[in-house]
Structure 1
Amino acid sequence: MSPTGFESQNLSLPDIEPVEIDTLLANPAFLAENKGLADNRKSCFSGIDNVEQPMSFSSFDDGFHMVLADYVGSEDFVCRVNSPNWLKFYFRLEGSNTIVFDGAGEYRADGPRCMVITQPEGLEKADFLGTEGHNSWVTIFLSPDYVVNKLGVDPDGLPKSLAKFLTTGVSDLHCQSLQLSLEMKTIIAELMESPYQGPIRRVHSEAKAMELICIMLQNISREFLDTGKPSATLYNSARLEEARSILMESFSNPPTLAALGRQVGLNRSRLSHDFKTRFGMTVYDYVTDIRMEQARAMLRSPGLSIGQIAEVLGYTHARNFSQAFRRYFGVSPRAARKQY
């Protein structure tokens, strides 16, 4: 049985070796090389030598991975993938492709779209991309355990096929197509054009990917329940990710807890409690983490004085910055610079 929106035409799977996502993610060397890879465009698939900017793979957690691509090629590109144990969120910013499931039909995706995909064990998928213009997309892979236990999603609020997959790990073919909202387009563009480098870019990429996840889960839940209101869990998840994104972008002059709560629609106590529960640290500690990681990266630049770094990071006095740095790393900024 083909899912809604699929057509049974004559495209078949290409005669190439499939990329086994489970095998890829079980390879410690691959994960070590790509852990949090977000500022380094690197191909993780074969057969795309003609691509100007290869795909990049980012691994944020054992159950949370992302592929980011801005494909401009001189030849047609075909990719064959087997990923039965993952919930896939697919966001296409521009371009078009045809998704083919072996023996189960195919789906043509043109222009901005987003899709939710699960596939049964043994059912392979292939993507056919043409050469006209750009093909920009993001694919997020989530394990059932991550969705249920780390994101706290209640499967009962989702379509039956997704609920079955999240609770049993056994998947039917599920392919749900949704409109790509302006909010999603903005987030994808921010992922593609991140102004950050190093560890801050990783934080930024993970936060933006999590925003996409929250929006998708909220939309799926809303469409299924037909209430117009997302569940409290999904609502809070989206607001917390928004809070984290605000802190990451304003770490040099962060808002007060009360002001941050007003921006994201959570009261001060709820924000404080839920932020620590979700991210394992207080809002203050999160800002300190960002500042210190940024400080460490900036100390590698000999052109910046300690005072200049302190000013960029939002400290009114270099002494305050030095004290905070020593508390965090156990050495002074000057000593750390010599080590680097």
Structure 2
Amino acid sequence: MSAKGPELPSYIKEQGGNMVIAEHFQQTDNYTMKRSEGMGDWLITYTIAGEGYFQIDGVERFCQTGDVTLMQPGVPHQYGTRRGSTWNFVWAHFTPRFMETSLIPNEKLLIHAIDSNVARNRIHQAFNRLISDSIERSLYWNELCESTMREILLLLAQRLSKQVDPRIEEIRHLLSTRMQDPIRIDELARAVGLSPSRLSHLYKESTGSSIVDSLNDMRIRQAALLLEHTDRQASEVALDVGFQNYNHFAGQFRKRYGMNPRAYKNREL
């Protein structure tokens, strides 16, 4: 390795130093990649199924379904499919200039288990978009790849910054996507394999709010945005966000913003 460290790969140099490439691999246990001088860019992987290994400084570590790995530039390494397994994974190389990496612990190799189905699906979908754009190379493909790569890094940083029970994360996702529907604690509880009483206790313990209060907070914040940025009237917005009773909506809105919805909409900014 030179004093300046490993150079950027040729495929990145060709794009003026700014590039993201990605692909989906499914490999048997004869798959291995060895780079004795490391690489000039970052490597990130997400394991869809099976197991892989990474060997750095003589230490072998494994990744499995739902794990994200992130390896820094300039790290001599070897990686591949764990013996006796297959490794179904998506990967991306990206340039060191991404500032979002500063939000992630400074480790040669980070391996983090994504234990929430919601987060796993979102990361997997982001990788799929990244792969599609990097292969198709349509107009603005590199900008789209950079945007998606930032999304993946921010999702990883979010997971690392605050560990949340994956069942609570799943409930919050369900609340946000079904905001207009009547809430049933027993249905939510079944979705995450808990009893209604256990879910209610765990949710309050984890978030400091009840499920109903969290849902109302989501609805009211969304209502404020609709009042401020659309021509929808307050009574229409109430229905849009899931309140069937306007007086209840107005009371909840006043509690948060100190005025009724119509006054909020008509106020001078």
Normalised by the length of structure 2, the TM-score is: 0.50
Q: Which residue of 1 aligns with 2:208?
A: 280
SS of 1:91's partner is strand
Contact 1:113 1:177 in 2 (8 A): no
Partner of 1:238: 166
Q: Is the 8 A contact 1:99 1:108 kept in 2?
A: no
Alignment of 1:51-200 (within 5 A): 79=41, 91=46, 102=74, 104-105=76-77, 107=79, 113=89, 128-129=93-94, 174=109, 186-188=121-123
Do the aligned partners of 1:140 and 1:209 also contact (CA within 8 Å) in 2?
A: no
Structure 1: which amino acid aligns with 2:170?
A: E
- Tell me the number of residue pairs that the alignment of Structure 1 and Structure 2 aligns: 185
CA shift at 1:325, angstroms? 0.7
Q: Distance in 2 between matches of 1:175 and 1:327?
A: 44
State the Cα distance separating 1:261 from its structure 2 match.
0.7
Q: Tell me if the contact between 1:247 and 1:254 (Cα under 8 Å) persists in the aligned partners.
A: no
For the 8 Å contact 1:240–1:275, the answer to whether it is kept is yes
1:273 partner SS: helix
Q: Which amino acid is 2:203 matched to?
A: F
What is the match of residue 291 of structure 1?
A: 219
Does residue 306 (structure 1) correspond to residue 261 (structure 2)? The answer is no
In 2 relative to 1, CA 114–237 (structure 1 residues): closer, same or farther, beyond 3 Å?
Answer: farther
CA distance in 1, matches of 2:268, 2:75: 59
Flag the 1:302–1:183 CA change in 2: closer, same or farther, 3 A. Answer: closer
- Choose the corresponding residue for 1:255, options 161, 183, 208: 183
Alpha-carbon distance between aligned partners in 2 of 1:48 and 1:305, rounded to the nearest angstrom: 50
Q: Residues 302 and 108 (structure 1 numbering): CA distance in 2 closer, same or farther, change over 3 Å?
A: same
Q: Report if the CA contact (8 A) 1:306-1:333 is conserved.
A: yes
Q: Is residue 246 of structure 2 the alignment partner of residue 318 of structure 1?
A: yes
Task: Summarize the Cα distance change of 1:209–1:241 in structure 2 as closer, same or farther, 3 Å threshold.
Answer: farther
SS in 2 for 1:242: helix
Shift of 1:314: 1.2
Q: CA RMSD in A?
A: 5.0
Structure 1 Cα separation of the partners of residues 224 and 261 of structure 2: 8
Higher relative contact order (CA 8 A, sep 6+): 2
Q: Are the counterparts in 1 of residues 238 and 244 from structure 2 also a CA contact under 8 Å?
A: yes
320-329 vs 291-300, which moves further: 320-329
CA contact (8 A) 1:322 1:332 kept: yes
Normalization by structure 1: what TM-score? 0.41
Cα distance in 2, alignment partners of residues 114 and 139 from structure 1:
19
Partners of 1:322 and 1:105 lie apart in 2 by 60
Deviation, 1:288, is 1.2
Structure 1 residues 191 and 307: alpha-carbon distance in aligned structure 2, compared to 1, 3 A threshold: farther
**Matched position secondary structure for 2:229:** coil
| CA positional deviation for 1:327 | 1.9
Amino acid at match of 1:294: Q
Deviation readout 1:202-253 (Å, 9 max, x if unpaired): xxx99x948x959xxxxxxxxxxxxxxxxxxx9x922221111111111221
Q: CA deviation at 1:294?
A: 0.3
**Structure 2 alignment gaps of length 5 or more:** 9-15, 21-38, 49-69, 82-86, 130-150
Deviation sequence 1:77-133 (CA, Å, 0-9, x none): 96469xxxxxxx85389xxxx956546335589x96379xxxxxxxxxxx8559xxx
CA contact (8 A) 1:251 1:287 kept: yes
Identity %: 21
The residue number in structure 1 matching 2:30 is none
Return the index of the structure with the highest Cα Rg: 2
Contact 1:100–1:106 (CA under 8 A) maintained in structure 2: no
8 Å CA contact 2:185–2:196 kept in 1: the answer is: yes
The answer (yes or no) to whether the contact 1:252–1:314 under 8 Å persists in 2 is yes
In structure 1, stretches of 5+ residues that fail to align are 1-8, 17-46, 52-76, 82-88, 116-126, 131-137, 144-168, 194-204, 215-233
